Structure 1
Amino acid sequence: MLDHRIPEPFHAGELRAQQLAGGGPPGAPIRSRMPEQHRQFFPLLPFLCMGVADGSGWPLATLVHGEPGFVSSPDPGRLRIAALPGVDDPTRPFVSAGAGVGMLGIDLATRRRNRANGVVAQADSEGLLVDVDQSFGNCPKYIHVRQLVPVARQAGAVTSFGAELPNEAAALIARCETMFVATSSGASVHAGGLDISHRGGEAGFLRLEGQVLTVPDYWGNRYFNTLGNLLLEPRASLVMVDFASGDILQLQGLAEVHWQVIDASKDVRAEREWTFHTVRGWLRRGAFPLGETLSAPLI
């Protein structure tokens, strides 16, 4: 049986990041097709994390949602997503045929997550069909366990802002335990090398000073997909959710990787960190239709 592993899966930015960090992974099961366990996993999810690029090539991170089964895999090389970003979502105009897309399926209850990156083959009013170029799993570290259920919410006003964050946005960041970051390797890699990944920790692990957010980088799989992308393309996007209110915060900004932690006393687990200088953002009130019924500690 074919394993579909990509012989040399890392681009120049990722290889450089691995070198700067002291070494890459002992192996990298990154495949050009989804294994059966990944194909069976995506239909279990009530939401999917997505990263696309806007008209200037700047990544945008978002979440799409639906009843479990809204994401399916008609064959090992494709994912069908029977949903679109909301009409008030800044990503909506850029989800179209031919667009690169990074996807992360994550089950917060079981801490399981799988990534799939590719290109939108078809897009219509019913959703998307994506040709998958890369498929791989991630470990469950730093995922805050949550039991999510559908919640009836009334979507509220959307606030768009520039570099200065509104107080509501700053408060959401201070409470955040689960964040997703979309990055791109730029035009040098097929479909822009779009990727979206998870960052998690206890409330306060994201440190905001003015418009600058500091994000710790903990021990992981040593693929350095995010940091490798940032070495080639510093433009990035963040998305985070207030699971109590359903508010979604989306940010675009410029990131810089610091290979030495500036102040290790602020987070003893951090091996390195990166800063995110906010350029613009959107606060979409009541936009996430899932709420938390049971909270468990970070594992």
Structure 2
Amino acid sequence: MAADVYHQGERAAQRRAGLLDQGAFSSRAVRAEIPEVARGFLLQQPMLVLGAADDRERMWATLLTGRPGFLHAEDDRTLAIDARPAPGDPLHDRLTEPAPVGMLAVEPARHRRMRMNGRAVPTARGLRVDLDQVYSNCPKYIQKRQPRWEQATPSAPRRSRALTGDQQRWITGADTFFIATAGPDGHADASHRGGAPGFVHAPSPTVLRWPDYAGNAMFNTLGNLEVRPRAGLLFCDWRTGGVLQLTGTARTDWDPAHAAAVPGAERLVEFTVTDVVETAGASPLRWSDPVPSRFNPPAALDFPS
């Protein structure tokens, strides 16, 4: 089954981690159809994380929002999204044409998440995605939050090539971020990363580091990075609706001695920033203070250099 689901980068990452058998077991959850229970889940969600490459092949992750019902299955292989990235978003222009996308629907209040990958085409209301892969992920490292809706007008995006001091503090205080990557065939993927505040380090304005914790052994993200190092990160300000989007390259540090120095880490990831987009008030969603996941390891005071 794994040979049918995983590409060579994912299998290489599973071998390096010694988890080929567990990855094969996890692959049984991957399907091309939306299960009936998942249709109900999607109808309840007010947000979706979407990852894709822009016209320069840079990976970005963006946040789409709408009143519950803005995500709905047209049939068991097609997802309709009544939203599209706003003008100024790094993926706005790219998604006016067909494009491979990776998506993640997350419900922080109930520790639930669902991944979907496929090909998006623009519609009058937003996007229609013909799905290739649909599967649920484990609830680990999701911080519990309750949403509310607050009408907001996004500010003009601020662009730079490196992080400001305020942006570095935002990142190092975060307990959640999202990452977009793509496989050797260009198929995109979007994934969640969570931990105790401080689990992401920002040792310079262009470098981030974080631990990779135990998961479902599928290695979709790290497998993609084995063959295509480009990645996009999304940090959300859960109180104000601001979003911080980064693009650059990422590499996995497989040295067990380095991982041993960071609580809970099975390996480390280093990300090099090439472009930054910050948009204040990008999302109308506001969230309650988090209840931390019981799976969060303590944040490391320092990382191996």
2:15 corresponds, among 12, 16, 19, to 19
Alignment counterpart, residue 279 of structure 1, candidates 262, 274, 277: 274
In 1, the alpha carbon distance for the partners of 2:18 and 2:2 equals 23
SS at 1:226 equivalent: helix
Q: Which residue of 2 aligns with 1:238?
A: 233
- 1:117-136 → structure 2 map (5 Å cutoff): 117-120=117-120, 122-136=121-135
Aligned-partner SS, 1:32? coil
Deviation sequence 1:39-58 (CA, Å, 0-9, x none): 22111110000001111222
Supply the AA of the counterpart residue of 2:280: R
Distance 2:258 2:13 in 1: 21
Whole-Å separation in 2 of the counterparts to 1:64 and 1:196:
13
Q: What 5-or-longer segments of structure 2 have no aligned partner?
A: 295-305
* Structure 1 stretches of 4+ moved >3 Å: 261-266
The structural deviation recorded for 1:264 is 4.4
Partner residue in 1 for 2:211:
216
Report % sequence identity.
37
CA contact (8 A) 1:261 1:273 kept: no
Indicate the residue corresponding to 2:145 in structure 1: 146
Deviation at 1:71, TM superposition (A): 0.3
1:184 aligns with 2:182: yes
Q: Is the 8 A contact 2:143 2:292 kept in 1?
A: yes
Map of 1:51 onto structure 2: 51
Contact 1:6 1:30 in 2 (8 A): no
Secondary structure class of the residue paired with 2:170: helix
Q: Match for residue 194 of structure 1?
A: 188
Classify the secondary structure of the residue corresponding to 2:122: strand
| Alignment size in residue pairs | 289
Say if 2:265 is the partner of 1:267: no
**CA contact 2:59–2:248 (8 Å) conserved in 1:** no
Counterpart code for 1:204: G
> Which deviates the most, 250-259 or 165-174?
165-174
After superposition, the C-alpha distances for 1:244-293 in whole angstroms (9 at most, x for unaligned) are 12210000011011112564465310100110000111011111111123
- How far does residue 97 in structure 1 lie from its aligned partner after superposition? 4.0
- Cα-Cα RMSD: 1.6
With normalisation by structure 2, the TM-score equals: 0.90
5 Å matches for 1:106-121? 106-120=106-120
C-alpha separation between the residues in 2 aligned to 1:84 and 1:195?
Answer: 17
Q: How far apart in 1 are the matches of 2:15 and 2:207?
A: 27
1:206 equivalent in structure 2: 200
CA contact (8 A) 2:98 2:122 kept: no
Query: Aligned-pair distance for 1:7?
Result: 6.9
Structure 1 runs not aligned, ≥5 long: none
1:169 equivalent to 2:163? Answer: no
